[in-house]
Structure formats: C-alpha cells, structure tokens
Amino acid sequence: MAKYEPVLLKNVGVEGVRNLKVYRERGGYAAAEKALKNHTPAQIVEIVKESGLRGRGGAGFPAGVKWSFLPEKRQVTYLCVNADESEPGTFCNRVLMEEDPHQLLEGIIISAYATQTTTAYIYMRVEFHEQFHILQTALDEAYAAGLFGKNLFGTGYNLECFIHRGAGAYVCGEETGLIESLEGKRGWPRIKPPFPAIEGLFRRPTVVNNVETLCCVPHIIERGAAWFKSIGTEGSSGPKLYTISGPVKRPGCYEAPLGITCRDLIFGDDYGQGMIDGRKVKGCIPGGLSVGVLTESELDCKLDFDEVRKYGLLGLGTAGAIVIPQDADIREVLANVARFYSHESCGQCTQCREGTNWMYKIAMRIALGAGRIADLDLICEVTRKMGMMPGLSICGLPDGAAYPIRTIVEKFRDEFEQHIRRQEPGRVEQVLKRLNPAIYELPIIGQRGSHTYHRAG
C-alpha cells in the first residue's frame, strides 16, 4: 500500500510556514484566488456538497448541505469559525492554528465567499494563548497583503475577519451557545428552530463550521471534489486528523484517511506505536469524551462517521482518542467523566442540570467503595431520560454526557460488580455518614419503575 500523503498537515515542520511569504511559496491562497475568480458562490457550494465533506467538529453534518440552508434572499450573512475545541482529548484544531494558520484563513475566505458572507468571526478557546497570537499575526499579515478587507483578488468581494476569545465553557462548542457568547451574553444554547442558517448571530443568517472543516475546503477547490471523495470510506470522505493521548508511546496528532481502525491508531507504527512499558489496553474513548467507549475487543472498529455507531457510540465526534490502560480503576474513570459533565452543564434544562449531577453523585459513591449493584441500573436509566435524542433538552450536551457514562457501565459491568462485591461490610453506611447529605442525596432503585429515596445521615 502506498504511503499516505498528508494534506492538512503537509506544512507542519516546514520552516517559516507561519509566515505569509513561505505559505504562498508553497501554493497558499492559490485555491482562494481560483475560487473567487473562476467560480460563483453557488458553484463553490455545489463542489463542497459533491466532495462529501462532513463537519469535523463532532456532528458530521455535510458542510455543503449546511451552507445551502441559507435563505436565497439575504442582505447580511455571518460565518462563525468554531475554534473553541473544548472536547476532552481533542487538540487537532490547536495544531492547525499553531502550525499552519494561513491554511485556516484561506479556508475562511473560500467558505465566506461561498456563503456570501462579508464578516467572519473566529471564536477561539480562551486557553489558546500562544495560538491566539500566532493566528492574529497571520491575520494581520493577510490584511496587509490585501487578502482580507476590500476587493479581494480584484474581484470586488469584501471580507472582514475578527478573532473573538471565548470565556472557557464546554457548552460554547455548541453552535448556538457559541453565538450567544459571541454576542456578549451568557454562553448557553438557544432553542431551535429557528436554526442559525435562518436566525443566528445578531439574528441574521449564520453558518458555523469548525477549524478542521474549513481547512479542508482549499484542498477541495485545488484538487477537486472527486479527489477528496476518493479518500476515506463510503459516506466518510477525505482526510481526518486523529489525536491520541494516554499511556501510548507516541501520543500526538496524526493525519490519516477516514476509516482507519482504533487499533491501528493505538498500535500503528505511523501513529501511537503501542503502549508504554508493555501495558495492556482496557478500552479506548475514540472520538473525544462524549462519544462513548470501546472495549479492547472492539478496537478493530473503523473510525469513520458510520461504523462507530455499530459499536453503540454516539458518533465519530472529534476523533480525539483517549486510551484507558488495563490497570486503570474503571470506577475512577466513570467518576472523572461524570464530574466533567456535571461541572459543564449550563443548567438551562432540568434533565441535564439534575441528571448530570445525579450521575456524578452515584459515580462518586461507587468510586468511594460504597456502591450497590442497583446503582449500575439506576445510572443507565438516568442516561436514557435526558438529551436531545429523547427530546428533553435544548442542546446535545446531555446526550454527550449519557453515552460515555452508559457505555462505560454497560461494557465494563462485570468489573464494576466485582468491585462492589469486594467492598468491606458496612462500607456503604460508613461513606453515607461521612458525606455531606446536601451534596450526596443518593437514590436507591427498588423494583423496576418504583423508586425510594434515602438521604445520607
């Protein structure tokens, strides 16, 4: 098999490529000039639709289709670039902005032109201090060269671009939460409909795309939709950045065609290169925390937008893999996951606000060695009664909370039960007496469908 040629990471490691001069010497902005001079906005939209490009931010929705939702008659349209990247285990957008900022800016130009946008906002995660200065320097260079502002490439097209630093909230990765924060308000999601394509930023038609999605666009224009579609698997076209963290020999960000297996990502010579110190794999969260977990026996799952669902996962997500070693205590893994979502829920929806908090309480009780077999049933029951998918929340955060918690409990249930059965006698009572009852008010499940409640102390 021929060695894969990097596309999105082709400039990584090239000396001086952050500078406009070097980027243009390597063919940079040629695709943007080609798009603006040789194509109409509608033609660009059709090319991107034909390529099969799906959003890399988590949902995997076709980018060209998303652009086509904009109303035909509109005076003002905005492009919002989601550079928040708050999904645990994910850092591919950071790499793109840090190593090749002009690639993103070129993608913004083409995408803004396609959506007939004259103003673009890059919503950047506040913790990206170094990346902010790198991207701002690149943007200033691009403005000085006439690549932003008035009359781009002599075509009469005008485009302004601004970087907005967020306040550091996971829920602002959701597009309407991002828009609310960008408007200077509390960053929590809006009720939909209306969707952003109809009423988004400042109540105007808006497109929200993530960094990696937009970085794919120049390559589609340069090489064609058929080339892009030839990479990956059916229904999952193009290159993808995969990140891997945990006790692997070579953690990092790697590019591959969509559809490599999770096992290849962990053990492949071009990727993670296996586990350090000969440790074994217990499982892997393959797409960022919210998608769910794979067991060691499921590592041959193909990491594309469709295959992962056969393994009970929410989706591919951001393809940010987190490897769980065999010697990790699965109770601590569960408690850590539950703690994150309990902390990051915006509190707007009752099911999410209360559900994530209850799951954290139950997970903590199990982790402290005071769990009960019935807690495993209860925590799974809670996950099925929250989220957009059962129609009970405004955004998908509770769905993202439910999948990792439910898959961890269901796929490692035997291990949880072994821990619970080995607990010392009286441990439940000891822990409940010690814990603050205002924080740890823990339900007990009785017969199916009937609950009783026990307050500590």
The conformation of residue 161, written as its DSSP 8-state character, comes to E
CATH class of the domain at 20-230: alpha beta
**H/E element, 262:** helix 262-267
Number of Cβ within 10 Å of residue 269's Cβ equals 9
Intrachain domains 20-230 and 233-323 with the same fold: no
The four Cα atoms 203, 206, 212, 215 give a dihedral, to 10 degrees, of: -140
**C-alpha closest to that of 361 among 304, 427, 442, 416:** 442
Side-chain half-sphere exposure of 216, counting CA atoms within 13 A: 30
Predicted pLDDT at 387: 87
**H/E element, 454:** strand 451-455
pLDDT in tens, 311-347: 999 999 999 999 999 999 999 999 999 999 999 999 9
Tell me the CATH number of domain 330-455, given options 1.10.3720.10, 3.40.50.300, 3.40.50.80, 1.20.1440.230.
1.20.1440.230
Joined tokens for residue 119: 């103003």
Q: Return the CA Rg of the chain.
A: 23
Predicted pLDDT at 434: 60
Tell me the CATH number of domain 233-323, given options 3.40.718.10, 3.40.50.720, 3.10.20.600, 3.40.1260.10.
3.10.20.600
pLDDT in tens, 87-120: 999 999 999 999 999 999 999 999 999 999 999 9
Region label for 302, one of left (φ > 0), alpha (ψ between -120 and 50) or beta (otherwise) = beta
Mean pLDDT value of segment 398-416: 96
* 442 has a pLDDT exceeding 70: no
- Helical H runs in 345-439? 350-367, 373-383, 397-411, 413-421, 427-434
- For residues 227 and 177, give the distance between their C-alpha atoms in angstroms, rounded to a whole number: 35
CA distance readout (Å), 115 to 64, 66, 76, 322: 10, 10, 10, 36
Predicted pLDDT at 431: 64
pLDDT in tens, 346-385: 999 999 999 999 999 999 999 988 899 999 999 999 999 9
59 pLDDT tier (thresholds 50, 70, 90): confident
Q: Domain ranges for the chain, please list them.
A: 20-230, 233-323, 330-455
Q: Which range among 2-11, 326-335, 405-414 shows the weakest confidence by mean pLDDT?
A: 2-11
